[in-house]
Amino acid sequence: MRGFRSSGSRTAVAMLLGLLAVAAPGPAGADDALAARELETFEAWLDSARAGYGCDEGPALFRNKTVEAAYPGRRFYYVLTYARGIPPPYKKPTTVVAEVAGAQVRTIHPVSMDGYRTGLKRVGSAKDARLAAAAVMILATADPGERRWRFDPSNFKVQRRGGRWVCSYAHGSALYTSQVIFDKAGVLSSFQAGAPPVP
């Protein structure tokens, strides 16, 4: 009888340890908790820096597989106001992509390469160039759901010009082409959005 109780105790302890392992926050749980805190910081910054702002999406974590693959370790947050042919239904329509570092919010400025270049995988092949170019354009549109244009890496045409990687994406017509360029070292050097105007 004593042996039976001992075996049962070992089984119970093993089950309890298993449950604790499932319940305890591991790296993923800690990462989720950090993202939640960063989102709160981003929301507070919006309320302060862009008081009275309006948007169609967000504030939210910028979730996009292409961006996550091209920018490993970086995490972005955003609000997005859809482009319209009429004035949007907000007094202060806002579109912003940003990172959070502690209590500091760093916006990704649309005309600055630094925010797009930092942490972006270095290009060493046509496949790398397509992935990185697609990620840059998705960030530039501030639209993780790619509602208007789906920047599939496979749809980018890549050419080598003077050692640079020139990546082009036609928005339904060669007249409207977006272009992303990486220098000889495989680092982002410039990009230009060439999507047609919203009807």
Using the structure block, give the residue that is written with the tokens 């009275």.
Answer: 52
How far apart, in whole angstroms, are the C-alpha atoms of residue 182 and residue 68?
A: 19
**Residue 65 banded pLDDT, cuts 50, 70, 90:** very high
Q: Is pLDDT above 70 for 20?
A: no
Write down the mean pLDDT value for the chain: 85
- Looking at residue 190, what is its pLDDT? 94
pLDDT, one tens digit per residue, over 146-187 is 998 899 999 999 999 999 999 999 988 888 999 999 999 999
* Three-state secondary-structure class, residue 93: strand
Q: Is pLDDT above 90 for 103?
A: no
- Looking at residue 10, what is its pLDDT? 43
In the chain, where are the structural domains located?
Answer: 27-192
**CB-CB neighbours of 137 under 10 Å:** 26
Q: Is pLDDT above 50 for 15?
A: no
111: alpha, beta or left, given left = phi > 0 and alpha = psi -120 to 50?
Answer: alpha
- Prediction pTM value: 0.81
- Looking at residue 184, what is its pLDDT? 95
* 42-61 core/surface letters (b: 16 or more CB in 10 A; e: else): bbebbeeeeeebebbbbbeb
Is residue 111 classed exposed, middle or buried when 0-12, 13-18 and 19+ CB atoms within 10 A define those classes? Answer: exposed
pLDDT, one tens digit per residue, over 32-64 is 899 999 999 999 999 999 999 999 999 999 999
- Looking at residue 102, what is its pLDDT? 87
